[in-house]
Structure 1
Amino acid sequence: MAVAALTLILFSALICCSVTEKLHNGSPPNIIIMLMDDMGWGDLGVFGHPAKETPNLDAMAAQGMLLTNFYTANPLCSPSRAALLTGRLPVRNGFYTTNGHARNAYTPQEIVGGISKDEILLPAMLKKNGYVSKIVGKWHLGHRPAYLPLENGFDEWFGAPNCHFGPYNSSITPNIPVYNNSEMLGRYYEEFPINVKTGESNLTQIFLKEGLEFIHRQTKAQQPFFLYWAPDATHTPLYASRSFLGKSQRGRYGDAVMELDYSVGQILSSLQSLGIEKNTFVFFTSDNGAALTSRTNGGSNGPFLCGKETTFEGGMREPAIAWWPGNIKEGTVSQQLANVMDLFSTCLSLAGISAPDDRVLDGLDLTPVLLNLSHSLENRPIFYYRGNEMMAVRVGQFKAHYWTWTNSMEEFKQGVNFCAGQDVPGVTTHNQTEYTLQPIIFHLGRDPGEKFPLSVLTKEYLDALRSVSAVVEYHEKTLVPGVPQLNMCDQAVMNWAPAGCEKLGKCLDAPKSKPWKCSWPH
């Protein structure tokens, strides 16, 4: 198993050539990546949610491929998005911090950094074959002008650079700017209002309209396009338009899911009405697991343990659907281990573009899986990172936790226990202050909820440990971390207002008497 994992990239390169030849007898397909925000694996009806309120996504799965073992690269918004667009682990592309061990970090709340200029993002690569690219929705890879989408390969942008900007608590309105390309149009709660009491907002409808308009325009121009559609309605502050408010059995979060499901249906229907569905690859997933700190206003991680910010399955296993009529066989269910970084390599393969050869890519080309061709991807590993630390690794059905953690009772009382109400087996001896070469190992095939760790005295444990240890040893020996981009905390030059904000005069300034701290507790 370990040998196959270590030589996987060489096999994948050989497969890629034959797949590319098969695909590019005609024009390269359009590409749409739909990335949800904090949506859990268990939020879709097709993944078992009893409310059955996602008919369009369920139909998308019936018409395409459901990937049941699809992972993000980090259990937090910013690093996972950086990984998707670069095809590289955050610890390689620099989207991590060394301010604290295994500390999640993100922009722009406590830092002034962003995606490194040394990184090559997917839209910049796709330009090589004439693709026009647009991002609609949340960016979250840096809020200063040099870090924004148009400076990183995208041709168009409509959306927000972040979740919220500046200090955020119950007494301060979050500052979320909305941009149309390089011009700031307004911000959430003001020019793009969200009713705090009811959650009513038309933002998802606006994001839908922007996406549809781009699709129609590029189809008319007969130019291949890449649409990165990243709405944020399922991230607090939760919102939905009037037509969906109060319609879900699940409260405001469910209302937001229903509207996103409707929007997915509208996009797929539009592709079909334009007659381009057979030449458009669409992939749906989420940036990380549902946020358990949202408690009654969050999503569902199905049978998996914990959620967002943790490296248990609930934090990093994501809903995933691939749709490409005439190419992906209808009603396919794939158990292949896959990762959001694979979308980078897969999209390049679909576009007929060679991957950059001057850097290590962690993503693999999934086209043979999608097209039901022979491949050697079965034993590829999945790495679970928080910040600069590899917390766990999965090889086949076995997942080994080298680092886990529990919150203190005091933190639990304060409501910051991310796994409140859930038992976390064995973690009392595997916390953020202790590392061990004898990891906790689970068999995810029969125990997806990570409830029953293997006994260290069994042959199964020892066999699994040998396989996993070989993969970990090779990974750690060859890993060259990137320069951490999220350690930047220069209070003297901190600029709390993004470019263009001065036009409105409504942006929050940094507190004069008490500068914002650079180190958050999580």
Structure 2
Amino acid sequence: MTRSALSRRMNLNFLFPLFTLLAAFMQINAAHAESKPNVVVIYADDLGYGDLACFGHPTIKTPHLDQMAEEGMKFTQFYSAAPVCTPSRAALLTGRYPIRSGMCSDKRRVLFPDSGGGIPASEVTLAEAMKSAGYRTACVGKWHLGHLPQFLPTSNGFDSYFGIPYSNDMDRVADRKMGRKIFLDPKVKYWNVPLMRDTDIVEQPADQTTITKRYTEEAIKFIKQDQKQPFFLYLAHNMPHVPLFRSPAFADKSLRGLYGDVIEEIDWSVGQVLQTLRDEGLDQNTIVWFSSDNGPWLIFDAQGGSAGLLRDGKGSTWEGGMREPTLAWWPGHIPAGTVSQEQGSTMDIYTTSIKLAGGAVPTDRVVDGVDLTPVLTQSGPGPRDEMVYYRGTKLMAIRKGPWKAHFITKPAYGREPFKEHDPPVLYHLEHDPSEKYDVAKDHPEVIKELKAAAEKHRKTVKPVPSQLEIPLTQK
């Protein structure tokens, strides 16, 4: 063998272990990337438990959400942490009951354009936690956690924002004498809500006839961006909160009328997002959640939705106000066609997402969300056995196992006063999801257990100032 040939062989012998190490390193990196799934949360506004075909609606067509359920998991006992917009969204993005962050009030149920408060800087949002875990983040749609610069998404962990900063019925400019008639034939000009990109208003009033379509396009654009990093996308539709608007392509298509048109466009939007994930080869490494912030706004009659067999709707702590139609989709990880009867909450999306991302759930405060990974993968029992129902700062009811005790009751809206119950009224939700039959007198031991659970929870709550009561003029 020549000297040069011997030298080449020695070099190859030296380089072979390096190539082996490099290949192993690349495999480790690939496995690490695979262990960090993308997370998409699609959030409807005022969607009722009975408003989707896969949850029993007879005339609203939701083929894409139905397929999402067939390919993933449908939750039948999944809750928002509040019955109205601002506190429920705060709970989703902090994993905490809104009583802990001051994002609730007994005087003003949500934030308004004349509010000076918003989500406190001390809260660790889901976006901030995911960003710390190496994710790129985007918020598209309704925010409603404060419209001043320090409260906007871009100040709370999101790289970008495109949407309406509060409910689409705010900034009303229509003559007040019209009353609720403006919702029967809504027109864009009746409201002056702003559409924002990051911190700038780019359109006012927002053309709400195209808002669902534009949110969808923005979400797809984000998904298709640089895919070197995993991503977290929060897509929060303003619909079907009144006033109801849909694009011309969906006008008069649903047997359910205008409300059905709006839901069917949201269903189309979900289909577009899921198909984009498939087309981009991201479906096996992306978990998608679909849920709602609270139940249907029943006082708007046909312009509001349906809670199905559940009692009451938005604004109440009866089941119809807080139990939400929820789906989870993660091909290859969530067994297809699974129906979960385990308890869950939108607060659990917070903890589950951070855990899946390899991030750090805050340990310096009470976090009420639990990790639902065992439920999603069907590898173990659900960790949630308890749900507390708040209306503003009032603890109205508690669920433990199948039992729910109401300490205070009040209809969602109206002048009827709060009614305290001693003993509390008691329902077995697995036997009686409609909360029709009070069985308190037959189960004093259950009443005792639920009272103790409520007292244990109260001891974890430290009073904080309400952000919803801060006026806009306060410095």
Q: Please give the range of the TM-score, normalised by the shorter of the 2 chains.
A: 0.7 to 0.9
- 2:193 paired residue number: 176
Measured against aligned partners, the alpha-carbon deviations of 1:106-132 in whole angstroms (never above 9, x if no partner) come to 112452211111111111111112101
Give 3-state SS (helix, strand or coil) of 1:470's partner. Answer: helix
Instruction: Give the one of 296, 299, 311 matched to 2:305.
Output: 299
- 2:248 paired residue number: 242
Instruction: Give the one of 81, 86, 91 matched to 1:83.
Output: 91
What is the CA distance between 1:493 and its match in structure 2? 5.0
- 2:14 paired residue number: none
Instruction: Give the one of 100, 106, 117 matched to 1:92.
Output: 100
Give 3-state SS (helix, strand or coil) of 1:202's partner. Answer: helix
Matched, 1:481 2:463: yes
Measured against aligned partners, the alpha-carbon deviations of 1:453-497 in whole angstroms (never above 9, x if no partner) come to 1151x2xx213212212211211122223332112136x559xxx
Give 3-state SS (helix, strand or coil) of 1:336's partner. Answer: strand
Amino acid at match of 1:464: V
What is the CA distance between 1:373 and its match in structure 2? 1.4
Q: Structure 1 residues 193, 399: closer, same or farther in 2, change over 3 A?
A: same
| Structure 1 segment 249-288 matched on structure 2, within 5 A | 249-288=255-294
Structure 1 CA distance for aligned equivalents of residues 77 and 32 of structure 2 = 28
| Structure 1 segment 89-488 matched on structure 2, within 5 A | 89-97=97-105, 100=106, 103=107, 105-109=109-113, 111-163=115-167, 164-166=169-171, 170-171=175-176, 173-188=190-205, 192-194=206-208, 201-219=209-227, 222-375=228-381, 377=383, 380-406=385-411, 417=414, 432=418, 434-456=419-441, 458=442, 461-488=443-470
Amino acid at match of 1:38: D
Give 3-state SS (helix, strand or coil) of 1:435's partner. Answer: strand
Structure 1 CA distance for aligned equivalents of residues 382 and 68 of structure 2 = 27
Q: How many residues align?
A: 432
What is the CA distance between 1:155 and its match in structure 2? 0.3
- 1:498 paired residue number: none
What is the CA distance between 1:356 and its match in structure 2? 0.9
Q: Structure 1 residues 25, 127: closer, same or farther in 2, change over 3 A?
A: closer
* Percent sequence identity over aligned pairs: 42
Q: Structure 1 residues 169, 392: closer, same or farther in 2, change over 3 A?
A: farther
Amino acid at match of 1:79: P
- Structure 1 contact 29–224 (Cα < 8 Å) conserved: yes
Q: Structure 1 residues 166, 240: closer, same or farther in 2, change over 3 A?
A: closer
- Structure 1 contact 179–185 (Cα < 8 Å) conserved: yes
Structure 1 length-normalised TM = 0.79
Gaps of 5+ in 1: 1-22, 195-200, 408-415, 419-427, 495-522
- Structure 2 contact 103–118 (Cα < 8 Å) conserved: yes
- Structure 2 contact 440–447 (Cα < 8 Å) conserved: no
Measured against aligned partners, the alpha-carbon deviations of 1:70-97 in whole angstroms (never above 9, x if no partner) come to 0000000111000000000010011012
- Structure 1 contact 67–320 (Cα < 8 Å) conserved: yes
Gaps of 5+ in 2: 1-30, 177-188
Q: Structure 1 residues 82, 455: closer, same or farther in 2, change over 3 A?
A: closer
Structure 2 CA distance for aligned equivalents of residues 137 and 43 of structure 1 = 21
Q: Structure 1 residues 336, 376: closer, same or farther in 2, change over 3 A?
A: closer
Structure 2 CA distance for aligned equivalents of residues 225 and 455 of structure 1 = 48
Measured against aligned partners, the alpha-carbon deviations of 1:290-316 in whole angstroms (never above 9, x if no partner) come to 101111111111101110000001100
Amino acid at match of 1:204: T
Measured against aligned partners, the alpha-carbon deviations of 1:188-226 in whole angstroms (never above 9, x if no partner) come to 3xxx434xxxxxx1111111100000001133xx21110
